[in-house]
Amino acid sequence: MTTATSGRERLDLWQLRPAVLPPELDQVRAKVRAFVAQEVSSGRITTRCDQWLGGWDEAFSRRLGQHGWLGMTFPAAYGGAAAGALARFVVTEELLAAGAPVAAHWIADRQSGPGLLRFGTEEQKRAYLPRIARGECFFAAGMSEPDTGSDLASVRTRGTRVAGGWRISGTKVWASGAHRAHAMIALVRTEARTADRHAGLTQVLIDLPDPDVHIRPILLLSGEHHFNEVVFDDVFLPDDRVLGAPGAGWQQVTSELAMERSGPERVLSTFPLLSALVDRLASAGSEASAPRLGALVARLWTLRQMSLAVAGRLEAGAAPAVEAALVKDLGTRYEGVVIEAARELGGAVPDLGSADPVALLLAESILHSPGFTLRGGTNEILRGVVAKELGVR
């Protein structure tokens, strides 16, 4: 007979506790909120949905850098504020909730910078981190390939040892912003595949643009250009362009997953739509919509607490990958639920050309929605990660 005190009780999953934001972050939040309000009211930025993919605004990123809101977790020596994961959480959730254009610096600030900080050489850190923190250096991620999606360990892009470095050949896809980024961190195979398919992978740093790197747009179904195909045509990289240890690429990449999958961007991609919807219904005096809206607010409140709880664990030095997978699964499905509620209650036909904010945000959200449950690991793969933790896989 099963007892509730079986081995499962010791699962790391259940160690997740709510994180309480320290009061000093209230001031940080108030500053970011006031800054964004000023940016919006002055017309410098506009509120949109899914801006961490679509909102590329280099000048805005530089202004954030001037306020010290990029690379916040970097040590002061590298241009950061030595702030914790919770401080970064507050800043990013404020920007995302407001629908501010954060795409330019997003990859650099979220994963490339922390990856460099953790695995980079002193020289690499000095070369990139202060520029990331100033909003002057943007990164793309080179992970997926034409034949490599969910099964990341199957990458075929090769790094071949040559005198003084490596020659890289292969193709990466879906590389958001690669056409405008200053550098890419790519995962490449540097040793032949063995029984341990996670062995022999290496992360390399490639400055962009480069004459031997050919970048071609892959247009989204909406016609927008964010994704790219990136072809490495026998690119020479000296030894100092390896990030971390040759062969340790898999461990390095997966160590970032907790950060990559648990952030508020996995919940808030359609928040500007929800906010506009509530404003619309409030001005229409729509009491009848209260239960439906309340359910959306309750779920959002809970998802935010979950995302925050993971940030609390990150701040404490843990890497709660399974919890992060759950946040992403629940959060990205919620982003879609908001769309359906807006269709049901908003009284607007989705229209990219509309001056009505609900109609416009709804159109953007619908057209971006397929990506929500795909990027950063499909939800099916994430549930597989969870099933493994539950001991059934």
Partner 1 sequence: MNDVHDTLTAVVREVCAKLSGAEIRARADDGGWNAPLWAALEELGMTTIAVPEEAGGSGGTISDAVAVLQVLGEHAAAIPFAESCLLGGWLLARCGEPVPRGPLTATVAGDGLHVVRHGDKVGVRGSIRRVPWARQAEHLLVVHGAGVVLLKAGEFEVLPRTNLAGEPRDDVLVDRSLRADRDLGRGLTEASSVLDEFQQRAALSRAALLAGAARRALALAVDYAGEREQFGRPIARFQAVQQHLAAMAGEVLAMRIAVDAAAVAVGEGPDVLAVAAAKTTTSGSAGVVASLAHQVHGALGYTAEHPLHRTTTRLWAWRDEGGSEHAWAAALGRRALGAGPGGLWALVTATEAGR
| Residues forming the site for partner 1 (CB under 8 A) | 1-6, 8, 13-14, 16-18, 20, 26, 29-30, 33-34, 36-37, 93, 97-98, 271, 274-275, 278-279, 281-283, 286-287, 289-295, 297-306, 309, 323, 326, 329-330, 380, 382-384, 386-387, 389-393
In angstroms, the CA 142 to CA 172 distance is: 6
CB nearer to partner 1: give 47 or 171.
47
Integer CA distances (angstroms), 352 to 48, 151, 221, 363, 365, in order? 11, 35, 13, 6, 10
Tokens of 226: 């964010």
In angstroms, the CA 388 to CA 322 distance is: 9
In angstroms, the CA 264 to CA 51 distance is: 13
In angstroms, the CA 92 to CA 96 distance is: 6
Rounded to a whole number of angstroms, the minimum distance from the CB of residue 206 to partner 1 is 36
CB nearer to partner 1: give 224 or 356.
356
CB nearer to partner 1: give 219 or 282.
282
Rounded to a whole number of angstroms, the minimum distance from the CB of residue 306 to partner 1 is 5
CB nearer to partner 1: give 335 or 389.
389
Rounded to a whole number of angstroms, the minimum distance from the CB of residue 281 to partner 1 is 6
Rounded to a whole number of angstroms, the minimum distance from the CB of residue 12 to partner 1 is 11
Bridge-based pairing state of the strands 165-172 and 242-243: unpaired
Rounded to a whole number of angstroms, the minimum distance from the CB of residue 35 to partner 1 is 10
Rounded to a whole number of angstroms, the minimum distance from the CB of residue 148 to partner 1 is 20
Distance between start and end Cα atoms, the chain: 21
Residue 294, Ramachandran bin (φ over 0: left; ψ between -120 and 50: alpha; else beta)? alpha
Amino acid at 378: T
CB nearer to partner 1: give 96 or 259.
96
Tokens of 365: 């959200």
In angstroms, the CA 77 to CA 312 distance is: 24
* DSSP-derived 3-state class of residue 214: strand
CB nearer to partner 1: give 4 or 192.
4
Please name which of 119, 102, 115, 124 lies closest in space to residue 142, comparing C-alpha atoms. Answer: 115
Q: Where are the beta strands (DSSP E) in the chain?
A: 139-142, 158-162, 165-172, 183-189, 201-207, 213-219, 225-238, 242-243
Rounded to a whole number of angstroms, the minimum distance from the CB of residue 13 to partner 1 is 7
CB nearer to partner 1: give 149 or 384.
384
CB nearer to partner 1: give 347 or 384.
384
Rounded to a whole number of angstroms, the minimum distance from the CB of residue 346 to partner 1 is 14
